Amino acid sequence: MGKVEEYKPVMAMIGLQLCYAGVTLSSRATLVHGTSPRVFILYRQALATICIFPFLYFSRRKSKISPLDLKSFSLIFMVSLIGITINQNLYFEGLYLASSSMGSAMGNINPAVTFLISFLVGYEKVNIKNIRGLAKIAGTVLCVVGAISMTLLRGPKILNSESALSLASSLLGGLKDQNMWLIGCLFLFSSNLCWSFWLTLQVPISAYYPDHVSLSAWMCLFGTIQCAVVTFFLEKDPNAWILHSYSEFATCLYAGVVASALSFTVQAWVISKRGPLFSSMFNPLCTVIVTILASLFFHEEIFTGSLIGGLCVIMGLYIVLWGKSKDVMKNQEQRDSRNNSEVKIHIEDSSNTTNCNKDLENPLLSKHKSTEEIQNINN
């Protein structure tokens, strides 16, 4: 049973990366068909809020939703602004201007940035004299290098004959201007900086507000309000607010329910168990999944460089997981020792209480003993 509990965070993060890959591909297809990125984000967050609050209410009829005080309100509002409003607006604008492969590949700077932020604030400990500490650094670098090589390295073709660039050209009606491409990449880079900060901020928020489902619900609500304000001021075309097909609505629903409501809850739980670096280390898997699915369904080419990069991503991921396994074992030992000490104290308290009860039930001079003593005195 302990082994299953140990691998639950791993299975949860792999499932999330599958969901993120589906959102990346479906969102890209929706955006290039004319949907406004800002409107898409607003509807996504609104649907996530509509789905998560009824679930939270009906699943907790006997217990109340955790209330917000001023500090928790400020923290959740700030995290929603960074991790939802700013992050998603930058990401989907960059996804629209660049490409799905660039959007997923750019996300692989998250492990390096998250590792650096977590190390600076003291959430990650690295001992360069220890082999496991070096494994964290080497695995992170290998993941980032492998993900970048998937995008930049070409080499001989392995599958398909139509390139991703030509597919984007057919969808958009021509090649994008180089400046627009660079702006899109800059948006994606800035988005991933926000995501790294969001992952790191989950640690103090989860400690102060440990109810992960309620936390996700409040983040979805605040994100919806913030995105509505941003969209109202930036989107001037009234027709952009209209969804023109069921596929656009289905994409918004999928992105909202799975990639927002569900993923926020799972992400917060995983970070509370293993930390922000562990969560961000699985982002490179999204690039591998997007590359494979884009090749199968969109007939994008797969080059030798992409295959080598994907192998480097997987190797780097396992190296970091091995490096962090000692931290997990140490935390488990601390929890076990804490639980054992609490149980020991409880047992000692119980035994003391039992002895006191026995003393009260058996007084120092029992009735039988006092009668014998009285007879001896009379004799």
| 216 in any annotated domain | yes
Given CA atoms 174, 175, 179, 180 in this order, what sign does their dihedral have? positive
What integer is the mean pLDDT of 139-150? 76
Is residue 179 in some structural domain? yes
Token pair in block for residue 317: 């991921």
pLDDT category, 170, cuts 50, 70, 90?
Answer: very low
Report the alpha-carbon distance of residue 199 to residue 121 in Å, rounded: 13
Could you say which DSSP state residue 162 is in? B
257 and 362 fall within a common domain = no
- Can you give the pTM of this predicted structure? 0.67
- Residue 41 within a domain: yes
Q: Which domain holds residue 210?
A: 2-325
Asked, for residue 199, whether it belongs to a domain, the answer is yes
Residue 187 inside a domain? The answer is yes
Residues 47 and 175 in one domain: yes
| Domain contains 99 | yes
Residue 201 lies in a domain: yes
225 and 133 in a single domain? The answer is yes
Count of domains for the chain: 2
Specify the pLDDT at position 141.
83
Same domain, 94 and 149: yes
Q: Which amino acid is at 248?
A: E
- Note whether 320 and 370 are same-domain residues: no
Largest CA distance in the chain: 123
| pLDDT, tens digit (0-9, with 9 covering 90-100), for 48-88 | 888 888 877 776 665 566 677 888 888 889 999 998 899 98
Pair of tokens at residue 90: 């930058």
Please check the confidence at residue 332 and state whether its pLDDT lies above 60: no
Domain check: are 11 and 53 in the same one? yes
**Domain match, 52 and 135 both:** yes
Q: What pLDDT does 298 receive?
A: 65
Give the pLDDT score at 225.
Answer: 94
Domain assignment of residue 332, yes or no: no
Same domain assignment for residues 306 and 182 = yes
Coil/strand/helix, residue 126: coil
